[in-house]
Amino acid sequence: MLDALAASGQASRFPVDVADIALRVSAQFGWTDPIVGVKAAPITSFEGGLFTVDGGWVLLYNDQIQSDGRIRFTQAHELGHYLLHRTLRNSFSCTDKDMVEWGPGGKQLEQEADEFASTLLMPINHFRALVNDSKIDFEMLGKCADLFGVSLTAAALRWVSFTNESAVLVLSRDGYIDWSVSSDKARKNGAFFRTRGNVIELPAGSLAADSTTASNKHGMAVGTSVWFEHADGRAVLREMKIGCDNYGYSLSLLHLSSGDKVWPAWETR
Ligand SMILES: [Zn+2]
């Protein structure tokens, strides 16, 4: 429907106006418990929430501690709870753990709300058209993030989720991997990190571990075996880095050659 509206010239396609959709979506489906308000609420302990009120629901978002992109994602995440989960609970309070630090191991309802939000804000067909044949790097992903009105982290996660290329996104803090997400191709080639229950230090020799370089959007060549010890010694990957000082973490993107398998010998498949 948003594509059709944009094609008819009635609305610009991006960024998606989540509050407008939230207020009107129940009428589309003929539901009797609409979202009656979308309001800022400066409660420091949460990024967003969805609560029952007289006559329906109210969608709250924190506008004090979040960028515009994160506010938009928060609103879309709460809209996801409304559409998917409102018959399961009377209230949803979501923190930045649910919103920004998503990745493997999250709670199911939170993962579903995140999946809904990224699908609504960054449709894959539009995203694919933007990056078509371009060499991916943080500058390109930054342009996509600006167009979609989301954070760079959200845009990078979305790209990793659909790309056919071999890529690993790593969020690190204080020299350790916080979480990482691999594309399908990277996972099949053994390029992933088991962060759950494991403490994984950033490898020496990686751009991520180099404290003298805060950011390198276009990336540099790093031996694949620096990150993945079982990789062929001749293989090279492209590593990019963005330091997010405001939030105290760094985001790294590892772009491997599609044919490079990094499984230990006994795990080769
Ligand atoms: Zn949530």
- Please report the domains of the chain, with CATH numbers, ordered by start residue: 2-121 (3.30.2010), 164-267 (3.30.450)
DSSP letter at 246 equals G
Position 266 scores a pLDDT of 74
Q: How confident is the model at residue 45 (pLDDT cuts 50, 70, 90)?
A: confident
Report the separation in Å between the CA atom of 130 and the middle of ligand 1, taken as the mean of its atom positions: 29
pLDDT interval class at 129 (50, 70, 90)? very high
Span from the CA of 50 to the centroid of ligand 1 (angstroms): 9
pLDDT band at 106 (very low <50, low <70, confident <90, very high): low
Cα–Cα distance, 266 to 90 (Å, whole number): 50
Q: Identify the pLDDT of residue 98.
A: 66
As a whole number, mean pLDDT of residues 92-113 equals: 73
1 CA distance to ligand 1 middle (Å): 25
Distance from the alpha carbon of residue 141 to the mean position of ligand 1, in angstroms: 25
CA–CA gap between residue 73 and residue 86 (Å, rounded): 18
Ligand 1 centre from 102 Cα, in Å? 11
Indicate the length of the chain as a whole number: 269
Beta strand pairing status for 166-173 and 249-256? antiparallel
Please report which confidence band the pLDDT of residue 65 belongs to, taking 50, 70 and 90 as the band edges.
confident
The two most distant CA atoms of the chain are separated, in Å, by 65
| pLDDT value, residue 246 | 77
Three-state DSSP class for 131? Answer: helix
pLDDT at 43: 81
CA–centroid distance, residue 35 to ligand 1 (Å): 16
Average pLDDT over residues 239-262: 93
